[in-house]
Structure 1
């Protein structure tokens, strides 16, 4: 089947994150496609919408939109009908379902999810925390963490922590270094600890790429323990044994995206708190 190319217009009165996520999730299921994205964000006036309409006339294609203002919605729908291109408000069905269940009408409020409330400042605080406690820094602050990730160098601890911070999670990360002791704060941690592991070949490739990026010309890539296959394999094995000895769950990140790893970390955090809550409840029960 020949590769089909289409224009896809994403029109939002906010940042466009919702539309981008929906488009990414749906287009991932089409293997042979070429989609030209036209992103129109912060469309909040008729003048701004006119730029969208001009773009549609020059490069017509399906439109996904999230517009709260009724006059802007109608104007966009009218031009799409005139051009003969499909147009869809991606949140309408979900909104209608929730309105019927909640029994209240949704407010016409732009960017309702982007407000500077307590949740927003919690995410900012978590981001500052990750910066201050990345790669074993500020180990005394692990006592304030919501979760601590451990693993060998280049096992995606840092990007996973930043992703979690965007969810308001204070995530510390501590590297497991051969022949180096873990910080004493992990002897009896007050938060769940999760290990990240990765297959040897994948880790070596990531580390080789890292060396090329930093211009490590002085490191002989055939002899350095950092990328020597036997040394790396032993390093990964030792890290896994360490996690097992402490009873820490381990996630293999080899074929996982950062989003998938973070989702699993959140599940493990919930399980940890559930076990802890159950243990505390049992401890408080009077002896029969």
Structure 2
């Protein structure tokens, strides 16, 4: 069966993160889907919706939406019905199930998950913490961390810490540098310490790519052990042995996305807290937030 081009319209009265996540997860199940996504976010007035309808009429395709305002929702559904286009309110099945189980009606509140409450300020505080404790900075602040990530250079420590900060987790990261002593704070840290490791060939490619970006100066840097295959293998092996000796769990990030690595870190945090008999490791709020860090 030939794969045809499909327009997919995502319509939200908020940031669209929920729709983005659902569409991404669903489309990942198809082999090379030829889908053009049209994102219509912050649709909160009839004027906004008219632009959406114009776009749907110009490039017809199925519509996924999250609209709280009844009049906007009705107008969108009527337009889709008139055009013979399927339209799906993605939260309806979940809301109906929960209302039946909880025994009360959900409030019609736009962007209810984005409020400036304690969880919001916890995430902001965590983001400031990550910025101040990235790549071995401010090691004295490790005593205030929720988790510390250790690993060789370019093993995804920084982006994982930023993703964790979006969950309200204060994550510090410490590079394991050959010949350099560890911060003494790691021996007394009142939080879990998790090692990140990576396949040597993958790490070599990442480091060589970084040197190419750096240009001529980076080429001269490439003469040292940073991108020497044998040295990189020895560096990774030494880091793993260190983590084993310290009793720190190790996560192989080679074929993991940042999201998967962060989820595994959170699992290790909760296991650590269970063993310690202390409070929950991670705040319950789980926003679908983008990764703000960019360094590997």
Shorter-chain TM range is: over 0.9
CA distance in 2, matches of 1:59, 1:75: 18
Alignment of 1:28-47 (within 5 A): 28-47=28-47
CA distance in 2, matches of 1:15, 1:217: 41
SS in structure 2 of the partner of residue 4 of structure 1: coil
Match of 1:10 in 2: 10
Match of 2:101 in 1: 101
Shift of 1:222: 6.5
- RMSD of aligned C-alpha atoms? 1.2
Q: Retained in 2: the 8 A contact 1:11–1:63? A: yes
SS in structure 2 of the partner of residue 44 of structure 1: coil
Which structure has the higher relative contact order (CA within 8 Å, separation 6+)? 2
Shift of 1:219: 3.3
Cα distance change on mapping 1:218 and 1:119 into 2, 3 Å: closer
Shift of 1:220: 4.4
Match of 1:286 in 2: none
Cα distance change on mapping 1:266 and 1:75 into 2, 3 Å: same
CA distance in 1, matches of 2:96, 2:55: 30
CA distance in 1, matches of 2:4, 2:149: 43
In our comparison, the structure showing a higher alpha carbon Rg is: 1
- TM-score after normalising by structure 1: 0.94
Shift of 1:30: 0.5
CA distance in 2, matches of 1:137, 1:130: 10
CA distance in 2, matches of 1:70, 1:16: 18
Shift of 1:79: 0.3
SS in structure 1 of the partner of residue 14 of structure 2: coil
Q: Retained in 1: the 8 A contact 2:154–2:203? A: yes
Tell which deviates more after alignment, 220-229 or 262-271.
Answer: 220-229
Match of 2:227 in 1: 227
SS in structure 1 of the partner of residue 227 of structure 2: coil
SS in structure 2 of the partner of residue 148 of structure 1: strand
Match of 1:68 in 2: 68
Gaps of 5+ in 2: 279-296
Match of 1:145 in 2: 145
SS in structure 2 of the partner of residue 11 of structure 1: strand
Match of 2:132 in 1: 132
Shift of 1:188: 2.2
CA distance in 1, matches of 2:55, 2:105: 33
Shift of 1:215: 1.8
Q: Retained in 2: the 8 A contact 1:195–1:243? A: yes
CA distance in 2, matches of 1:60, 1:128: 44
Match of 2:274 in 1: 274
Post-superposition CA distance 1:245-279 (Å, at most 9, x none): 1000000000000000000000000000000018x
Q: Retained in 2: the 8 A contact 1:221–1:228? A: no
CA distance in 2, matches of 1:147, 1:37: 37
CA distance in 1, matches of 2:3, 2:100: 42
Match of 1:118 in 2: 118
CA distance in 2, matches of 1:182, 1:104: 54
SS in structure 2 of the partner of residue 153 of structure 1: coil
SS in structure 2 of the partner of residue 173 of structure 1: strand
Shift of 1:4: 1.8
CA distance in 1, matches of 2:127, 2:5: 39
Shift of 1:216: 4.4
Q: Retained in 1: the 8 A contact 2:211–2:218? A: no
CA distance in 2, matches of 1:222, 1:101: 61
CA distance in 1, matches of 2:137, 2:198: 23
Q: Retained in 2: the 8 A contact 1:8–1:38? A: yes
